[in-house]
Amino acid sequence: MIEFKNVVKQYPNGTIGLNNINLNIKEGEFVVIVGLSGAGKSTLLRSINRLHDISSGEILVDGKSITRANGKQLRRIRRDIGMIFQSFNLVKRATVLRNVLSGRVGYHSTFSTMFGYFPKEDHDIALDALTRVNIREKAYIRADQLSGGQQQRVSIARALAQKPKVILADEPVASLDPLTTRQVMDDLQRINRELKITTIVNLHFIDLAREYATRIIGLRAGEVVFDGPVSEATDAKFSEIYGRPINEDELLAADAPKGGVTV
């Protein structure tokens, strides 16, 4: 589904963002990328839909090279990749439905969308996407009236409205509290299972990674230092990825009130 071939990202100031990455992510996988901040998680994710350009190498999405794609081709590939952001990235003063509908623009010509009109099928798709994340009833409310967790679900619905083959989520729960974190992660997992959408998530919390992922990729200083199923991602492995013992704040359970949750 997604193939990284010798991908290198070097910033203009010489820093290496990604160092010779080779990965092959298969259809329907729920991949969680872990690593310290600055390890290149976000760069890796954003290079998949070319929000960041890479310096050399090639990335294939569904067999097509996004690295070489241009203009229309690039937009056509991006249309198949939904993205979810840490800060939701909604138009706050627009209604929930308008936000979700904006995920449909890739399917229409620039001219026909300029008037802001969407055909009925698009409305149905958007409402269906909202139903999937259980906020159908908020469709006509302004986005800024919703809580953080609800806003993140709207942005999931927006990604779903694209009818994507892949969903990228860049720290989707970093600005949420533990309870809504689980709701959002549950939504992502359900969508991954029900719609067979390949999902790649950057996460800070390693217990969440273990709980939801089917495959974990560990990054350290722009290199893949771990790639395997959850069963192999032991505490010792995580210490290796992080280059030090696991901290309390890297566990979601540590943030939550004292309960029975153990890692």
Partner 1 sequence: MTPAPTPEAAASGAPTPPPSKKPAPTIDSKGLQRYKMLATWIIFIGVLVVCFVGVDADFMALFSDGARQNMGRILGEMMRPDWSYASHIWKPMVETVQIAIAGTIIGAVLAVPVALLCAVNIMPKKIVSIPARMVLNLVRTVPDLLFAAIFVAVFGIGAFAGMLALVFFSFGLVAKLTYEAIEAIDPGPLEAMTASGANKIQLIVFGVIPQALPYFFSYVLYTFEVNVRAAAVLGFVGAGGIGLHLDQQLNSLRYDRASTIIVITLVIVLLIDYASTYLRRKLL
Partner 2 sequence: MNPTDPSKSRSALIRNWIVGAGIIVLFIWSLSSLQFDGIQEYGKQVMLSIWDGFTHPDWGYVYMSEGEDLLRGLLETLIISILGTFISAFLCIPFAFWASQNMSRLGIVSGSGKFVLTVIRVFPEIIMAILFIVAVGPGAFAGVLALGVHSIGMLAKLYSETIEAVDNGPREALVSSGASKLQVLRFAVLPQVIPQFISYALYRFEINIRSATVLGLVGAGGIGTPLIFALQTRNWSRVGIILLGIVILVIIIDLISGWLRRRII
DSSP 257: P
Binds partner 1 by CB under 8 A, chosen from 23, 139, 160, 169: 139
Q: Would you say 124 or 232 has its CB closer to partner 1?
A: 124
For residue 202, count other CB atoms closer than 10 A to its CB: 27
Binding segment toward partner 2, per CB under 8 A, in 12-20, 105-113, 190-198, 253-261: 105-113
Q: Please, which residues bridge with residue 162 across strands?
A: none
- Binding-site partner at residue 134 among partner 1, partner 2, none, CB < 5 to 8 Å by type: partner 1
> Which 32-71 positions form the footprint of partner 1 (CB under 8 A)?
none
- State how far the Cα of 263 lies from the Cα of 249, in Å rounded to an integer: 13
35 binds partner 2 (CB under 8 A): no
Which residue, 188, 179, 200, is CA-closest to 261? 179
Burial class (CB in 10 A: 0-12, 13-18, 19+), 128: middle
**Contact partners, residue 87, CB within 8 Å, separation at least 6:** 175
159 binds partner 2 (CB under 8 A): yes
Binds partner 1 by CB under 8 A, chosen from 22, 87, 145, 234: 145
**Where does this chain bind partner 2 (CB under 8 A)?**
49, 51, 74-83, 85, 87-94, 98, 102-103, 105-106, 110, 113-114, 116, 155, 158-159, 162, 168
